[in-house]
Amino acid sequence: MGHRLAYKIMTLDEYMDFEDRKLFTGSRADVADGFIHLSTAEQVSSTLAKHFSGQDGLWIVTVDLNRLEPAALRWEAARGGQLFPHLYAPLPHAAMVGSAPAFVTESGEVLLPEPAAPAAGSEPGLTIH
């Protein structure tokens, strides 16, 4: 697909559990669907609007797709026929290369956490302080 990074939107409780357990087994929606929903940089804004509208305390986790089991990652059509990365396995903490509270600018742009150590060919993001 050409994407090296994907993003997982989590509630604060999910994020804290992920940090504690070093493994994310999915949100209620993920478990119900049988996979962990991820988004590309271009899809995060619409994912936030559609599935997390009005929620506070959200976190965005940057995931290095190269750190996932290749057989567990599938690109599947979803909203409007767009291909989304779906993870059919728990998300290991070692795949997280960045995280930050979700922040949307006044113009509606979602600021994405930049990887701590960008991998070659990774997508650009914005560092959030």
Domains of the chain in start order, with CATH, are: 5-111 (3.20.170.20)
Q: Based on the number of CB atoms within 10 Å of its own CB, is 71 exposed (0-12), middle (13-18) or buried (19 or more)?
A: exposed
Average model confidence (pLDDT) across the chain: 88
Q: Please, are residues 99 and 64 in contact by the beta-carbon 8 Å criterion?
A: no
Q: What amino acid is encoded at 106 in this protein?
A: E
Tens-place pLDDT, residues 47-105? 998 888 888 899 999 999 999 999 999 999 998 899 999 999 999 999 999 999 998 87
